[in-house]
């Protein structure tokens, strides 16, 4: 069976290849990494993008953001999902 050629690509300009994962207070690792994050309630998320080597705090307003998260350590007030 053929596989989707995008499954092994981490280009944030490409559309998602899998279902989203809800961002919650607990730590999460996204496999494969996210392609973007949809935020429905503004807040902060602490985690690593695919090019990061350490956790960074991101303050995000409501909307869709082209941030390719490979992991999230925590979030504060932020409600949303990471689309892989």
Which structural domain, as residue segments, surrounds residue 77? 25-83
C-alpha to C-alpha distance for 1 and 17, rounded to whole angstroms: 17
Residue 70 lies in a domain: yes
Residue 78 inside a domain? The answer is: yes
Strand order in the sheet with 69-76: 28-29, 69-76, 43-49, 56-60
Contact indicator for 18, 84 with CB cutoff of 8 Å:
yes
pLDDT value at residue 61: 96
Which of the four pLDDT bands, split at 50, 70 and 90, describes residue 3? very low
Evaluate if residue 76 carries a pLDDT over 60. Answer: yes
Has residue 75 been placed in a domain? yes
For the chain, what is the domain count? 1
Distance CA 53, CA 51 (A): 7
End-to-end CA distance of the chain: 21
| Average pLDDT, integer, range 19-44 | 84
Is residue 45 situated within a structural domain?
yes
Which of the pair, 2 or 36, is modelled with greater confidence? Answer: 36
């Amino acid at each position: 069976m053929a596989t989707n050629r995008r499954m092994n690509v981490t280009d944030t300009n490409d559309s998602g290849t899998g279902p989203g994962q809800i961002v919650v207070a607990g730590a999460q690792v996204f496999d494969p990494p996210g392609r973007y994050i949809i935020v429905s309630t503004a807040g902060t998320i602490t985690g690593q993008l695919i090019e990061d080597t350490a956790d960074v705090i991101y303050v995000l307003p409501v909307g869709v953001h082209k941030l390719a998260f490979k992991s999230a350590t925590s979030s504060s007030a932020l409600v949303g999902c990471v689309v892989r």
